[in-house]
Structure 1
Amino acid sequence: MTATFLPWLKFAVCVVLIGLAGPALIRNGDVIARLTGLSRSWIGLVLIATATSLPELITGVSAVIAVDAPNIAVGDALGSCVFNLMMLVLLDILSREEPMYRRIDQGHILTAGFGVILIGAAGAFLLLSQNALSFQFLHVSGYTPFIIVIYLVAVRAAFVYERRTRSPSALAKAEGSISLRNAALGYLAAASVIVVAGTWLPFVGREIAEVMGWRTTFVGTLLIAGATSVPELVVTVSALRLGAVDMAIGSLLGSNLFDILILAIDDIAYGKGPLLRAVSPAHAITAFAATIMSGIFIVAMLFRPETRLGGTIGWVSLSLLIVYLFSSYAIYLLGH
Structure 2
Amino acid sequence: MPWLQFAVCALLIGYAGQALTRYAAIISQLTGLSASWIGLILLSAATSLPELFTGVSAVTVFDTPDIAVGDALGSCVLNLGLLVALDALSRDESVYCRVDQRHVLTAGFGIILIGLVGLAILTVGTGIDVTFFHVSAYTPLVILLYFVAIRATFVHERQLAIIAPPVETEDGIGLKQAILRYLAAAIVVGIAGSLLPYIGMQIATMTGWHQSFVGTLFIAMATSLPEFVVIVSALRRNAADMAIAALLGSNLFDVLVIAIDDIAYFGGSIFANVSPAHAASALAGVIMSGIFIVALLYQPRNRFFGHFSWVSLSLLSIYFLSAYVIYLHDF
Do Structure 1 and Structure 2 share a fold, with TM-score over 0.5? yes
Residue 129 of structure 1 aligns to a residue whose secondary structure is helix
The aligned residue for residue 303 of structure 1 is 298
Secondary structure of the residue aligned to 1:159 is helix
User: Which deviates the most, 195-204 or 267-276?
Assistant: 195-204
Deviation at 1:262, TM superposition (A): 0.3
Equivalent of 2:171 in 165, 169, 176: 176
1:317 aligns with 2:325: no
Q: Please, which of 208, 214, 217 is the counterpart of residue 212 of structure 2?
A: 217
Alignment match, 1:3: none
Distance in 1 between residues matched to 2:207 and 2:6, nearest whole Å: 14
- Aligned pair 1:100/2:72, yes or no? no
Distance 1:114 1:285 in 2: 19
**Shift in alpha-carbon separation, 1:311–1:266, aligned structure 2, 3 A:** same
| Alignment correspondent of 2:187 | 192
In the alignment, which residue of structure 2 is the partner of 1:117? 112
User: 1:276 is matched by which residue type in structure 2?
Assistant: F
**Aligned residue runs from structure 1 range 257-336, under 5 A:** 257-335=252-330
Mapped partners of 2:16, 2:210: distance in 1: 30
Deviation of 1:205 (Å): 3.9
3-state secondary structure, aligned to 1:176: coil
**Paired AA for residue 204 in structure 1:** I
Tell me the CA shift for residue 168 of structure 1.
6.2
Aligned-residue offset at 1:239? 0.6
CA offset at residue 210 of structure 1? 3.1
Structure 1 runs not aligned, ≥5 long: 1-5
One-letter code aligned to 2:106: T
Which deviates the most, 145-154 or 209-218?
209-218
Cα distance change of structure 1 residues 277 and 10 upon mapping to structure 2, 3 Å threshold: farther
- Give per-residue Cα distances to partners, 1:38-70, cap 9 Å, x unaligned: 000000011111111111111111111112111
Alpha-carbon separation, structure 2, partners of 1:53 and 1:202: 13
For 2:94, the aligned partner's letter is P
Q: Does 1:233 align with 2:228?
A: yes
State the 1:169 CA deviation: 4.2
Q: Which moved more, 1:243-252 or 1:180-189?
A: 180-189
**8 Å contact kept, 2:31–2:165:** no
Aligned length: 331
Aligned partners of 2:80 and 2:62: how far apart in 1? 28
User: Which stretch of structure 1 is more off in the superposition, 94-103 or 50-59?
Assistant: 94-103
Distance 2:15 2:77 in 1: 22
Partner residue in 2 for 1:47: 42
Describe the shift of the 1:134–1:98 C-alpha distance in structure 2 as closer, same or farther (beyond 3 A): same
Could you tell me whether the CA contact under 8 Å between 2:67 and 2:215 is conserved in 1? yes
Distance across 2 between alignment mates of 1:168 and 1:196: 32
Q: Deviations over 1:64-84 (max 9, x none)?
A: 111211111111100111111
TM-fit CA distance, 1:92: 0.8
Is the Cα–Cα contact under 8 Å of residues 54 and 198 in structure 1 kept in the other structure? yes
In the alignment, is the contact (CA less than 8 A) between 2:34 and 2:163 conserved in 1?
Answer: no
C-alpha distance in 2 between matches for 1:205 and 1:69: 15
The equivalent of 2:127 in structure 1 is: 132
Identity of aligned residues (%): 58
TM-score if structure 1 supplies the norm length? 0.94
1:162 and 2:145 matched: no
- TM-score under structure 2 normalisation? 0.96
- Cα 1:16–1:220 change in 2 (3 A) is farther
Q: Distance in 2 between matches of 1:128 and 1:13?
A: 42
How far did 1:296 drift? Answer: 0.2
- Give the deviation of 1:223 after TM superposition: 0.9
Aligned counterpart in structure 2 of residue 26 of structure 1, from 21, 27, 33: 21
Within 2, Cα distance between the matches of 1:277 and 1:303? Answer: 39
Distance 2:296 2:125 in 1: 35
Secondary structure at the residue paired with 2:125? coil
Residue 213 of structure 1, CA deviation: 1.0
Match of 2:60 among 46, 60, 65: 65
The answer on whether the counterparts of 2:32 and 2:163 sit within 8 Å (CA) in structure 1 is no
Aligned AA (1:277): A
1:79–1:286 CA contact under 8 A, matched in 2: yes
Structure 1 Cα separation of the partners of residues 148 and 142 of structure 2 = 10
